[in-house]
Amino acid sequence: MRIVLVLALVLAHGAADAASYSVDGAWLRGPDGAQLLSLQPTFDVDYLAGGRRTRRQLRFAPWRRISRAARWQLVTSARVDDVHAVLTLRGSLRSPAIDVELRVSYGRARRVGYERLSFASGALDRALMLDRALRRRPLGRKPSVVGNLTPQRVWLARGTARVALVGGRGVQSLRASFASGRARLWLELDHQRNHPRTRFRCKLRLPPRYTAPGRDDMDVRRAGEVRWMRARLIVGSARLLEPMRYPRGYRAALVLTDHADQSRATTFEALAFGRTGAVAAGELGAKHAGLVNRGLGYTKTVFVERRGPYAKQLDSPRYRALLAKVGRRVEIGLHSVTGRADDTARVEALLKRFRALGYKGRTWIDHQPDTNCEAVATAGWNRRGRFYCLAALAKHGFRYLWGTIDHILPRASLNILHPDAPGRRRPVLWQHGLVRVDGAPPFWLFASTNIYWRRARVLARTTPRAIDALVRERGLLVAHVYLDTHRTRGRLRNLHLVDRLARGRYRLGPRVDALFARLARRQARGDVLVAGVERVLGHLAAMQALALRHEAKALRLDGRALSQPLSALTLRLPHGAAGARLEGQTRALPSRLHGGRREIWLDVPKGRVLRLQVLDAKGQPLALLPPGGIALR
C-alpha cells in the first residue's frame, strides 16, 4: 500500500525572496542565517511483532550529498529490526521547493502503534495552527492535533521570516506544540488512535447488561510491504489554496444514518412524506410535510428479510413501494441483512437479493454486534470463521462501514469534530488493515454520534443558533438515529418524531417538520448540506486520493489515483484573489465570498490532471510561488 504525504513550508507575503534562504544539511535557514526548522527529524516508532513491543526514537545517519548541475539531493537512512526507513531531500538552485520523501519497508509482519517524523524548530516569535474549524489558532504548550479531514497547516514566525507547514495527501494527522519560543511538529504516517477498531464477542442473545467492546486499534503491516511519505518545503512568498471539506461551497454537513431496527411502512411514510397515506393522496413535493418532501437526504438502512422482532421491510411490497418514491437523495443501505446472526452463505444470498431488487447503496451498518455475529465489528472480518462477510460486501460494492463508534457531542454543540478540544483526536473516517479484502477497493469506516433522544431534546439541540455555530465551525454531524420509530412502552417509549393517529396511522410532528423546513432553507442557501454517507463521507474519502501541488503559476490537481470522479471540490483561494479558472479556459469557475476570501468549486475527473489558475481583480493569473531557488551550503 502506498501513502503519499505532501508537505510545504512556505514563507508568508512580505518576507525575503527564495534566494535569501539556504539549507546546510542540518537546518533550513532564514535570510539572516537564523535556524528556522531542523532538517534532521527523528523517526519515532511503536511496533508490535512476535509478541515484543518496540518503542524507539530513531536518529538518521549523516546525510549523503549528491549534486548534479543545478540540482542537489540529500539521502539518509535509519533501521530498527527489519524496518528500514530512507529519507531523501531534493532541491534546485532554480526552484523554491524542496521535495521530501520517506520510504519505509518492512521485512516481516507487525502491528503499528505509531510512525511519525518529529521536527524541531529554532527560536521563534510565534506559531499558529489551522484548527478543525479551519481557523488559525495560536499553538500552546499542550500539543494540538488535526486529522485527515482538516488541511494540515502550521505557521511559524521569526522576525520578518515566515514559514508555513502544509500537509497534504496521505497525512493521517499532524500534531504541533509551542513552548519556550520553540515549536515541535509531528507528521504522523500512522497512529493507532486515528483508526479505532471495536471488537465484540458474539453471544447470539443480548446479555442482561451491556458489555463494552474490546479494542484492536493497531494497524497491520505485511512482510515485504512498503509505505511512502512525500513532502515539499517551499520558501519565499507564496499564495496557497486550501481544500474545503464539502462540495459546492457548503460550509457544514449533517449526515443522518438511520438504523433499520424500529422502522415499518406506516411510520416510514409519515417521516418521509408527512403522514401515513400521503403517497396515495399525491402529497409529494416541497409544499408538503416530510423529510423527503422537504428535499433533505439521508442514509436509510433496511433489513433484506425479516428475522426476529422486527417489521417486514424489503420483503414487504408496501415498504418497497415507499422506497421507490424517496428519490436519489435518500441512500438505501443495509443494517446487516437481517435482525439475527447470518452465516457467510446467507449473507451472500441476501446481498445478491438486495442488488437484484435494484438497490445501489454502498453503506453497511452493523446491527447489534452482540447478536449479529456477521457484524464487521464481531466476526465478519475473520476470513477463517463461518460468519465472514467482508468478501461478500466487497463483491457487491459496499465501501462504507460503520465503525461501531459513537463519539459524545460537546455540550451545546452539534459538531462531531469538536474543534474546541484541539488536543483530543476525533477520528470520523478511516481505514484499517484488518478490515480489507485483497484486490478489492478499500473499505472506509466511519464514526457517528448517537442522538436517539426525546423529541424535546432533539428540538432544543437543533435550534437556529446551534445550526449557526455548526456553520461557523465548518462542522460535521454524523448522527446515529432511528427516525421513524414509535414506541409507547419499554425503554424506547417517547423516543419518536412521529405521532400516532387513529387506526394505525401516523403523522410527522409539526415542530419536527418545521425543523426539516428550516434545514431545507439553510441547504438552499448553501450553508448546510443534509445528505447521506455516500454524498458527504464519500466526498471526503475521495479527497484523500487527490494530490495537490502548488506550481509557479498554477495549482496542479492530480486525479490519477481517484477511484471515482470528485464532484464540486471546494477550494479556498488566498487573500486578494478574485477568482480562478482552469488552465486553457476563459470562463471563471463558480465561486462565492466568505470571510474576506473567495471559495471556488470544480469537478476533478478520475484519471486526469488539471491545472488551476488563480486570478486577480483584473482577471490576470497570479503567481503562486516566488522566483528563485534554494542553495545547499
Q: What is the CATH number of the domain that holds 453?
A: 3.20.20
Q: Does residue 628 contact residue 19 with C-beta atoms inside 8 Å?
A: yes
Question: Residue 162 has which C-alpha cell?
Answer: 515566515
User: What pLDDT does residue 164 have?
Assistant: 81
What CA–CA distance (Å, rounded) separates 192 from 46? 10
Residue 192 backbone phi and psi in degrees, to 5: -60, -25
Give mean pLDDT in consecutive 10-residue pieces for the chain, a chain of 633 residues: 41 50 88 91 96 96 89 95 94 84 95 97 96 96 97 89 82 95 96 96 69 86 93 82 96 98 96 97 96 98 95 97 96 97 97 98 96 95 96 98 95 94 97 96 97 92 96 98 85 84 94 98 98 98 94 95 96 96 95 93 97 96 88 84
77 belongs to a structural domain: yes
3 state SS of 346: helix
Amino acid at 594: H
How many C-beta atoms surround the C-beta of residue 60 within 10 A?
Answer: 18
CA atoms of 407 and 448, how far apart (whole Å)? 6
The answer to whether residues 47 and 155 belong to one domain is yes
Is 169 part of a structural domain of the chain? Answer: yes
Same domain for 495 and 586: no
CATH number, domain containing residue 72: 2.70.98
Same domain (yes/no): 272, 232: no
Instruction: Give the C-alpha separation, 171 to 375, whole Å.
Output: 29
Residue 427: which residues within 8 A CB-CB, separation 6 or more?
147, 193, 194, 195, 196, 405, 447
Provide the edge-to-edge strand list for the sheet that holds 579-582: 547-550, 555-558, 609-615, 579-582
**Same domain membership, residue 463 and residue 573:** no
CA distances from 111 to 46, 244, 446, 630 (A): 9, 33, 21, 39
Structural domain contains residue 247: no
Clarify whether residues 408 and 363 are in a common domain.
yes
Is residue 48 within 8 Å of 217, Cβ to Cβ? no
Cell of 45: 516508532
Helix axes 510-524, 464-472, angle to 10 degrees: 30
pLDDT of residue 14: 42
Judged by DSSP in three states, 18 sits in helix
Asked if 355 and 397 sit in the same domain, the reply is: yes
Size of the chain, expressed as the number of residues it contains? 633
Q: How many other CB atoms are there within 10 angstroms of residue 289's CB atom?
A: 23
Strand partners, 500: 506
Statement to judge: residues 375 and 474 lie in one domain: yes
Domain check: are 229 and 259 in the same one? no
* Residue at which a domain ends, from 497, 516, 540: 540
The Cα 591–Cα 540 span in angstroms is 20
Secondary structure (3-state) at 141: coil
The 10s digit of each residue's pLDDT in 76-104 is 999 999 999 999 988 888 888 888 889 99
pLDDT at residue 9, rounded to an integer: 44
- The dihedral through the CA atoms of 582, 584, 588, 589 has a sign that is negative
**pLDDT computed for residue 630 by the predictor:** 80
Reduce the secondary structure of 366-415 to three states and give it as a string: CCCCCCCCCCCCCCCCCCCCCCCCHHHHHHCCCCEEEEEEECCCCCCCCC
- 237 DSSP 8-state letter: B
Return the number of other C-beta atoms located less than 10 Å from residue 398's C-beta. 23
DSSP 8-state class, residue 275? B
3-state DSSP call for residue 126?
Answer: strand
Write down the H helix ranges in 274-332.
Answer: 317-323
CA–CA–CA angle 536, 538, 543 (5° rounding): 100
- 3-class SS of residue 89: strand
Residues with Cβ within 8 Å of 523's Cβ and at least 6 positions away in sequence, in order, are 295, 296, 529, 530
What is the predicted pLDDT for the residue at 628? 80
The letter for the amino acid at 329 is R
In this structure, the dihedral spanned by the alpha carbons of residues 190, 193, 196 and 199, taken in order and rounded to 10 degrees, is 110
> Does a structural domain hold residue 2?
no
- Of 525, 540, 555, the domain-final residue: 540
Residues 517 and 573 in one domain: no
Residues 429, 445: Cα–Cα separation, whole Å: 6
Pairing of strands 444-450, 476-481: parallel
Q: From CA 301, how far away is CA 484, in angstroms rounded? A: 12
Q: Which of 207, 238, 269 is the last residue of a domain?
A: 238
The dihedral sign for the CA sequence 528, 534, 540, 546: negative
555, 428: one domain: no
Query: In DSSP terms, which residues pair with 506 in a beta bridge?
Result: 500
In Å, how far are 19, 24, 30 from 33, measured between CA atoms? 12, 10, 5
Q: Which amino acid is at 288?
A: H
Same domain (yes/no): 312, 166: no
Q: Are residues 475 and 608 in the same domain?
A: no
All three cell numbers of 175, joined, read: 500534531
Write down the residue that cell numbers 393522496 correspond to: 281
Cα distances (angstroms) measured from residue 444 to each of 468, 484, 504, 539, 568: 29, 27, 40, 12, 21
Q: What gap in Å lies between CA 292 and CA 305, rounded to an integer?
A: 24
**Distance of alpha carbon 508 from alpha carbon 274, whole angstroms:** 5
Quick one: pLDDT at residue 210? Answer: 57
CA atoms within 13 A on the CB side of 332: 22
Tell me the per-residue pLDDT of 417-446, one tens digit each, with 9 for 90 and over.
Answer: 999 999 999 999 999 999 999 999 999 999
The answer to whether 451 touches 416, Cβ cutoff 8 Å, is no
Q: Is residue 621 part of a domain?
A: no
Cα distance between the two ends of the chain: 36
Q: Is residue 182 part of a domain?
A: yes
How far is it, in rounded angstroms, from Cα 604 to Cα 560? Answer: 10
Contact 279, 322 (CB under 8 A): yes
Q: Which amino acid is at 591?
A: S
What is the DSSP code string of 160-216?
Answer: TEEEEEEE-TT--EEEEEEETTEEEEEEEEEEGGGS--EEPPP-SS--SS----EE-
Give the domain extent around 325. Answer: 253-540
Tell me what pLDDT residue 211 has.
62
State how many domains the chain has.
Answer: 3
Residue 232 lies in a domain: yes
Measure the CA–CA gap between 547 and 245, rounded to whole angstroms. Answer: 15
* Sheet with 35-38, side-by-side order of all strands: 35-38, 27-29, 22-23, 631-632
Residue 112, in any domain of the structure: yes
C-alpha cell at 524: 438552499
